Amino acid sequence: MTAVAGVFVGGRGVRMGGLPKGLLRGPGGSTLVERWHAMLAELGVPVVLVGEADAYARLGLPVLKDEPPGIGPLGGLVALLRHAGSVPALAFACDMPFVSRALVERLLAAPPDAPIVAPRRDARWEPLCARYDPVRVLPLALARATSSHHSLQSLLDEARAAALPLLPHEDAELRDWDSPTDVTTS
């Protein structure tokens, strides 16, 4: 195994009226989680769902619960990094329906010297479209999980993440679905 991917599904879907975002139908008709699973399977990367995933049980995918629960995406990242062990961990938000296989391949192929590789847009990281080195990042994430500093942005800064340069069309691939209007206008 060259990497493992975690698709983060733990959000409560409040802005979507309580609907699990990963079960929304995206371009092509499959659910967002099914799309991620198919794309990553084609690349030979095993997929786990990260977060509270009861609504996804019918998909039969392995699930990682946040460690610890209640601290947002950082708890999911800790669980994913533990699960990955010594292989690179890819972290993806389930509500990014436009990320291409080519962008995922570029994340996989980025030089391994950085502890984290992620796109950076408007001076902000995309921590849930990123590749993590579990051996180097897990200790930092664990320290943050036991503190009051749960920001993934500052974790990437602290770890000295490397920016994955975006090609002109890739900025649009990182659009996510945060509200029902995002779904209807896509």
The 10s digit of each residue's pLDDT in 114-162 is: 999 999 998 999 999 999 999 999 999 999 999 999 999 999 999 999 9
Angle at 109 between CA 140 and CA 127, to 5 degrees: 35
Mean pLDDT of 2-10: 93
Q: How confident is the model at residue 11 (pLDDT cuts 50, 70, 90)?
A: low
Q: How are beta strands 116-118 and 129-132 bridged, if at all?
A: antiparallel
The CATH code belonging to domain 4-184 is: 3.90.550.10
Token pair for residue 33? 């989680």
Specify the pLDDT at position 104. Answer: 97
d(CA 129, CA 48): 15
Specify the pLDDT at position 3. Answer: 96
Percent of the chain predicted with pLDDT > 90:
70
Q: Which of 38, 124, 47 is nearest to 80 (CA)?
A: 47
Token pair for residue 106? 């570029």
Please confirm whether the linkage preceding 68 is cis (ω < 30° from 0): yes
Which tens digit of pLDDT belongs to each residue from 28-67?
888 899 999 999 999 999 999 999 878 899 999 999 999 9
Q: How confident is the model at residue 175 (pLDDT cuts 50, 70, 90)?
A: confident
Specify the pLDDT at position 118. Answer: 98
DSSP labels for 150-162?
--HHHHHHHTTPE
Q: What are the sequence ranges of the domains in the chain?
A: 4-184
Q: How does DSSP classify residue 76?
A: H
